[in-house]
Amino acid sequence: MFFKIIKTIKFKDTSECIKFLKKKNFIISPWIRDIFLKKKYYKLNKPIIFYRITLKQLGFQSPANLFKIYKKIKKNTNLLSLNILCY
């Protein structure tokens, strides 16, 4: 089951997005700012479809640590790329 679909993005690149967020008084972490101002990310294939999954859907029957979760996710799906995180 999908969680969210992004059909359009109004920014031409990530630096434009960061400028917009600053104007709206959003606080941007230094980590995000450093990544996105060093390299501009442009092209995104649209639509972008986000899925919400549970540990049970990944095959876990009990709590699991992040290392195991990411290992399982990498085998089955694509994780969010950095260029999507800012948008």
The 3-class SS string of 34-55 reads HHHHHCCCCCCCCCEEEECCCC
Question: Is residue 17, in this structure, part of any structural domain at all?
Answer: yes
Nearest to 17 by CA among 50, 47, 40, 45: 40
Domain range holding 44?
Answer: 2-81
pTM: 0.48
Question: Is residue 10, in this structure, part of any structural domain at all?
Answer: yes
Question: Is residue 54, in this structure, part of any structural domain at all?
Answer: yes
Question: Is residue 87, in this structure, part of any structural domain at all?
Answer: no
Q: How many domains does the chain have?
A: 1
Question: Is residue 75, in this structure, part of any structural domain at all?
Answer: yes
Question: Is residue 26, in this structure, part of any structural domain at all?
Answer: yes
Q: What's the pLDDT tens digit per position in 20-79?
A: 888 999 888 888 778 777 766 656 667 777 778 888 888 899 988 888 888 887 765 666
SS3 28: coil
Cα-atom radius of gyration of the chain, to the nearest Å? 16
Question: Is residue 86, in this structure, part of any structural domain at all?
Answer: no
